[in-house]
Amino acid sequence: MVNPFPIPLNALRAIEIVARRGALAPAAEELGVTVGAVSQHLRRAEERLGMELFERTPQGLVPLPILRQALPQLTAGFSALQDGLASLKGSDESVLNLTVGSVFASRWLIWRINKFTARHPDIEVRLTVTAAMLDLSRPDIDCGVRFGLGPWPGVSAELVGGTTYQPVCAPLVAPRLQKPADLAHVPIIQDATTMLSWDAWRAVAGLDPSVTLSSGPIYTDASLAFDAAISEQGVLMAADMMSADAVSDGRLVRPFNLSVEGPQGYWLVTAKGRREPRKTRAFREWLAEEVPASAMGYVNQSRG
């Protein structure tokens, strides 16, 4: 009888992870083996199949066309196996493992997560706050919220919000900003991780491109950049969704009240092909209600 699995399951899993991530280390970490062991898995699998699966380049391992074609099936297959195992042992619907970035966690989610838990008291939310794009197919991650252009390979992504942005500053800084050209005389807080474009906003504001913006402090953590703006260190370009609470309670103001629509936003993301459990569906449905409601809350307070 012909063996339907001539390649060991661990080797198949190594192939799938390396093809998706482009490196040996993520596969080694997930499989709990050394990088050398992963390399051996790949080499022996290629020998058994009688073909090369990867192109070895200075930038890493690049899957060849035949593997790229099979990759969606491999990924879906392992997701199905994971769901099957969860069914056997009983999926823990009482714990939602969520990965988010620091700004989303500190400026929006932490102030509202009690509303989700009040609605779903049987679900405990466990946050992994990191700027890294974690592998969503990991068994210890149910879903995540990512900021960017989306969608991403191997990921199902649903836009949540956060596509508009504009400058913000502390109330005591605002009087120095009567017109956009005044930005040349007030420090611009630089978030080294930002995807928000000052050039796009300048164009909408009609600010002469020859006007040089004043350099201010540089932060590699976006949440610290928000704190810098609140502590009167200068002007920060911020997503309206993230600055809404600080604006509504008076810690920040929008000196020009002029936002632009960007190509990026906040996305709810899950591993493609993974069955959506009740806890993830509940979080997705809550986000769909809470994000618009939080924006309206800001509008209502600002009008009051």
Residue closest to 116 by CA, chosen among 296, 290, 297, 294: 290
pLDDT at 227: 95
Residue 300 has pLDDT above 60, yes or no: no
pLDDT at 73: 82
CB 7, CB 48: distance < 8 Å: yes
Residue 85 has pLDDT above 70, yes or no: no
228 with 188, same domain?
yes
**CATH of residue 224:** 3.40.190.10
169 with 244, same domain?
yes
pLDDT at 217: 94
* DSSP conformation class of 176: G
* Burial tier of 2 (Cβ tally within 10 Å: 0-12, 13-18, 19+): exposed
The answer to whether position 3 is within a domain reads: no
pLDDT at 110: 93
Distances in Å between the alpha carbon of 223 and those of 128, 188, 194? Answer: 15, 16, 11
Confidence of residue 84 (pLDDT cuts 50, 70, 90): low
- pLDDT (mean) for 34-56: 89
pLDDT, tens digit (0-9, with 9 covering 90-100), for 216-227:
999 998 899 999
**Tokens standing for 26?**
């993520």
140 with 176, same domain?
no
- pLDDT (mean) for 52-79: 85
pTM: 0.70
Low-confidence winner among 101-115, 127-141, 184-198 (lowest mean pLDDT): 127-141
Confidence of residue 275 (pLDDT cuts 50, 70, 90): confident
- Residue 164's identity, in one-letter code, is T
pLDDT, tens digit (0-9, with 9 covering 90-100), for 200-253:
999 999 998 888 888 899 999 889 999 999 999 999 999 999 999 999 999 999
Tally the domains of the chain.
Answer: 3
pLDDT at 299: 42
- pLDDT (mean) for 76-94: 65
42 with 21, same domain?
yes
58 with 205, same domain?
no
pLDDT at 25: 86
Helix, coil or strand: residue 281: helix
72 with 23, same domain?
yes
Residue closest to 27 by CA, chosen among 66, 54, 47, 48: 54
99 with 152, same domain?
yes
Which residues constitute the domain of residue 118?
95-163+264-303
Residue 123 has pLDDT above 70, yes or no: yes
